[in-house]
Copies of this chain bind each other. A is one copy, B any other.
Amino acid sequence: MRTYRKELWLNLSTRRGFVNLTPQVEACLRESGIRDGMVLVNAMHITASVFINDDEGGLHHDYDAWLEGLAPHEPLDRYQHNRTGEDNADAHLKRQVMGREVVVETPQTLPWARDARCRARLGLSLEARRAGCYRLKLERILERRD
């Protein structure tokens, strides 16, 4: 059994953003040489999410507006967490809605890429206190020996 692990770092210049990670994950899959297994992709930061959904700009706008409605960034004193000197309490809430991780099977191509009807892409939602550096942990485990 082989395992493979990689940390991805992302820099965004905006407080919130969406990044399509599918190409990077696919590159990791190729690099690992594993053909039958499972991938765990999780955000290393607790205000970031890894999720699978449509990589479509309108939807990203909708997610952003919706999350802001569910957990508004301001007023900052709405949240006790911000008394710690941080101003990202809302991002901790938004992250719970969008989720922390995805677990997907790993054929040679990612499963959703094989479905022509499905434009879903692995995405990342970030809410940074400042434009920062975020780590994603990718781990693919478990290769079947054919």
On whether A103 and B62 interact (CB within 8 A), knowing A3-B144, A81-B54, A145-B1, the answer reads no
With an 8 Å Cβ cutoff, the count of chain A residues facing the other chain is 59
Copies assembled: 3
Question: Chain B residues with Cβ under 8 A from A96's Cβ?
Answer: 51, 53, 63, 97-99
Interface-side segment among A15-23, A24-32, A112-120: A112-120
A111 x B92 contact (CB < 8 A): no
Indicate whether A127 reaches chain B with its CB closer than 8 angstroms. Answer: no
Q: Are A79 and B58 in contact (CB under 8 A)?
A: yes
Binary interface encoding of chain A residues 56-90 relative to chain B, with 1 for a CB under 8 A from any of its CBs, else 0:
11110111001000110000000111111000010
A residues near B (Cβ < 8 Å) are 1-3, 5, 36-38, 40, 42, 44-46, 51-54, 56-59, 61-63, 66, 70-71, 79-84, 89, 92-93, 95-105, 111-112, 115, 118-120, 135, 137, 139, 141-142, 144-145
